[in-house]
Amino acid sequence: MAYDVAALEKLIEQFQKIPSIGRKTAQRMAFHVLDLSEEQAKEFADAIIDAHTKIHHCKVCHNLTEAELCPVCASATRDHTTVCVMEEPRDVLALEKTREFNGVYHVLHGVISPMNNIGPDKLTIKSLVERAASGEIKEVIMATNPTIEGDTTAMYISKLIKPFGVKVTRLAYGIPVGADIEYADDVTLMRALSGRSEL
């Protein structure tokens, strides 16, 4: 292309690296940044750097935090005997938004996936086993995604921690609220049927 501004091109490329962001969207985002004031642009850049320097993993649950312990692990009002095991910090955000769960978390930062060369040692499973071994945990809720890899990881972990006398549960599978049974896939319907509860 004859018309090419290097600095703009670089910025577009940065946005384009974000998953599911295409060329056109990246362009629109870059132009938005150009439209910002000098100060706002600096704020944006600082937010990126800050997120990197300030945020690290909670030493207990491995969720993202700015302090040594995440707010959930540090909270005295949460039930520290119930641990919800999740794949990613974004899953924690989703569950926290429901305001229904009062226990604590354990973030795996991935799932066991031999295809992608991710073994149990690349996740935070060892630390979860140590938490279970400490005897302070009564129930572990496996809330990995309902995929083959999520299921496998849940099974693997449950085998490791059951010997410590911990109750291990799994999130219910079924038809999403508001969805149409007509359009539900076979596997979901099958799971909804086998997991039916009494009215």
- The reply on whether position 162 binds a copy of itself by CB under 8 A is no
CB of 49 to a copy of itself, least distance (A): 5
Task: Give me the residue label for tokens 């794949």.
Answer: 87
Question: How many residues bind to a copy of itself according to rule CB under 8 A?
Answer: 57
Please identify which residue in 4, 100, 130, 180 interacts with a copy of itself, judged by CB under 8 A. Answer: 4
**Residue whose pair of structure tokens reads 């362009």 in the numeric block:** 27
Q: Provide the token pair at 125.
A: 């499973």
Residue 31 vs 165, nearer CB to a copy of itself: 31
- Which span sits near a copy of itself by CB under 8 A: 15-23, 121-129, 141-149, 164-172? 15-23
**Angle at CA of residue 32, ends 31 and 37, nearest 5°:** 110
Cβ proximity of 48 and 54 under 8 Å: no
Q: Which residue, 2 or 115, has its beta carbon nearer to a copy of itself?
A: 2
Kindly state whether residue 54 participates in binding a copy of itself, applying the rule CB under 8 A: yes
Q: Sign (positive/negative) of CA torsion 35, 39, 45, 47?
A: negative
Provide, rounded to whole angstroms, the least separation between the CB of residue 143 and a copy of itself.
Answer: 15
Strand residue runs (E) in 23-157:
56-57, 64-65, 79-86, 103-107, 139-142
The residue among 38 and 130 lying less far from a copy of itself, judged by its C-beta, is 38
Nearer to a copy of itself, 72 or 140 (CB): 72
First to last CA, the chain: 66
177 lies in the site for a copy of itself, by CB under 8 A: no
Q: Are 122 and 114 in contact (CB under 8 A)?
A: no
What part of residues 23-52 is at the interface with a copy of itself (CB under 8 A)?
27-34, 36, 38, 41-52
3-state secondary structure of 22: coil
Kindly give the residue spans of alpha helices, DSSP state H, lying in 36-124: 38-54, 71-74, 89-98
- Residues at the contact surface with a copy of itself, assessed by CB under 8 A: 1-8, 10-11, 13-14, 17-21, 27-34, 36, 38, 41-52, 54-55, 63-66, 70-72, 75, 78, 88-90, 92-93, 96-97
